[in-house]
Amino acid sequence: MASSSSTQPSSGATIPAPLDDDPKRQEEEAETELRRGPWTVDEDLTLVNYIADNGEGRWNSLARGAGLKRTGKSCRLRWLNYLRPDVKRGNFTADEQLLILDLHSRWGNKWSKIAQHLPGRTDNEIKNYWRTRVQKHAKQLNCDANSNKFKDAMKYLWMPRLADHRLQQESTTRDHVPALSMGYMESSGMVTSSSDSFASDSYDGGFYANASIGKIADSGDWMQEHNQVFWPELNQSCQPENSELSGWVQGFSEGLAENFWSLEDIWKMQ
DNA sequence: AAGCATTCCAACCGCTAGAAC
DNA sequence: AGTTCTAGCGGTTGGAATGCT
């Protein structure tokens, strides 16, 4: 496609142009002037100021209008992933980590879709988190992050422990604020409330709304409800039915104990 | 202190869908 | 209806920062 090639560095032999006013040559010359790589403070300021005055969108013309020697694509990315005032920076909170695990188990690598439920977080950031943290652990376990084996590990071990740990922390630090921050649920329209939250493709946050209603003080109930809503196939117990998996999960737990996938590692990111 | 390895993340690339012409 | 342009998505990479020996 034309758009994607616009940022390509010129490679191979240069094509001699017979005429100076050859549009193709002019385009190539313009491309060679384009800057790539890290943005400078000046460029950031220019972009921010231009958007403040003119709004965002029409990125190619915006780049030209602002006098930036960048592609529109590059400007868009810089704005969305870094310069936007509502971009949240810093480590993911426990709530966010849980939500990412939850949503990824449901939607897979639909980063932008997942990002829609984490206000202030970008798809790029979530993708990076998944690749650097989650996939790393999958690798340590000698399995693929998208495999059922790994998903089971998340289901039976990581998520329950993460949730439990968070609840314990909350109970010691605060009275009892419902788990997943109501702020983001409200801002994303997630606090709605029916129980069958994941029946459809569009995630309404029902699980979290449920979790936060009254029962949060009891992590056992919370987890049970969590599993019923999220993985109904688990029935009442949070144990794998299949013996092979059971053995593997046992090994996984031992691995946890041996510290090769330490909760502290997960939590120290906060 | 120096060199090497690993981690993390900003930025890039290729591709696609949909809008505009 | 066909072509071009634009925005957006997911995958990948380069290099700075950090940790380790």
Q: What is the tens place of the pLDDT at every residue in A71-121?
A: 888 888 888 888 888 888 777 887 788 788 788 877 878 888 888 888 888
pTM of structure: 0.62
Q: Which nucleotide is nearest to A76 (CA to C1')?
A: C7
Strand B interface, protein residues by Cβ within 7 Å: A 1, 3-5, 7-9, 35-39, 70, 73-74, 77-78, 81-82, 89, 91, 124-125, 127-129, 131-133, 136
Q: State, as a whole number of angstroms, the distance between the CA of A269 and the C1' of B1.
A: 30
Domain span(s) for CATH 1.10.10.60 in chain A: 2-83
Give the residue with minimal CA–C1' separation from C11. A127
Nucleotide lying nearest to A61, CA to C1' measure: C6
Q: How far is the CA of A92 from the C1' of B12 (A)?
A: 24
What value does the mean pLDDT of chain A take? 59
Handedness of CA A248, A253, A254, A255 (dihedral sign): positive
Å: A66 CA to B8 C1': 31
> A2-83 adopts what CATH topology?
Arc Repressor Mutant, subunit A (1.10.10)
The model's pLDDT over A141-174, given as tens digits with 9 standing for 90+, comes to 667 766 777 777 776 766 676 677 667 666 665 5
Output the distance from A172 CA to C10 C1' rounded to whole Å: 40
